[in-house]
Amino acid sequence: MAQSEQPRRTKREATTAAMLDAARELFAERSFAAVSVRDIAERAGVSHALVHRYLGSKDDVYRAVLARNDTDIRDAAHGTLDLDEALSFMLRESQFHRVDYLRLVIASALQGMPYATTKGSFPAMQRLIELAEGLAANESRDPRLPPARAAICMVVALDLGWAAMEKWLVEAASLEEYDREALVGWLEQAVLCIAHGMLPGRED
């Protein structure tokens, strides 16, 4: 019995993944309001009834897209306890594999979607805050430095900002001669500089 159920579960997982991929693409291309469950179903090659059955309402689909992609960014850090490594791993995952997701988050914010409408938790950011606060707890607090969670907020803002404006900024600064690997590498350096400058014990 267990053997016969396994392929069924695998097929459901694959179908769910296809629906979430389709939803992420559509939400990023258009907007939350402009996408219907039927649109998602058509892009995924399934019936809209199946989307409702597997994922629920459009709000549920949206939250599932956010949860899935943000968890993947967090998991790219491989459980490291080193903040610099975690920042590098997560940034590279987001910029090389999750740009559609970052743009979806940006579009949602710019369209005025309240934070409470999202899933209410972003595991990647929370993990970075935990690591940063762990470092700050071991250092005497310099009143000139922001709280650790504010420093991480600035880092995330830079990651999101680059995802939103990379093409425009590359042209504005005449950086077309550089490939994406170099550009993301410099973004990584900037993120680490922010972390080192804004967190206790990270100035060196």
Domain ranges of the chain: 1-56, 72-204
Most confident of 2-16, 27-41, 120-134, 147-161: 147-161
Q: How far apart are CA 64 and CA 119, in angstroms?
A: 8
Local structure of 116: helix, strand or coil: helix
H/E stretch holding 171 reads helix 148-172
Give the distance, in angstroms, between the CA of residue 158 and the centroid of all CA atoms in the same chain: 12
Structure tokens at 55: 């994922």
Q: Angle, to 10 degrees, between the axis of helix 99-110 and the axis of helix 83-97?
A: 90
Looking at every residue in the chain, the average pLDDT score rounds to 87
Residue from 66, 17, 69 nearest 45 by CA? 17
91 vs 110, more confident: 91
110 vs 41, more confident: 41
Give the distance, in angstroms, between the CA of residue 180 and the centroid of all CA atoms in the same chain: 18
Among the four given CATH numbers 3.40.50.1370, 1.10.10.60, 3.70.10.10, 3.10.20.440, the one describing domain 1-56: 1.10.10.60
Angle at 24 between CA 20 and CA 86, to 5 degrees: 95
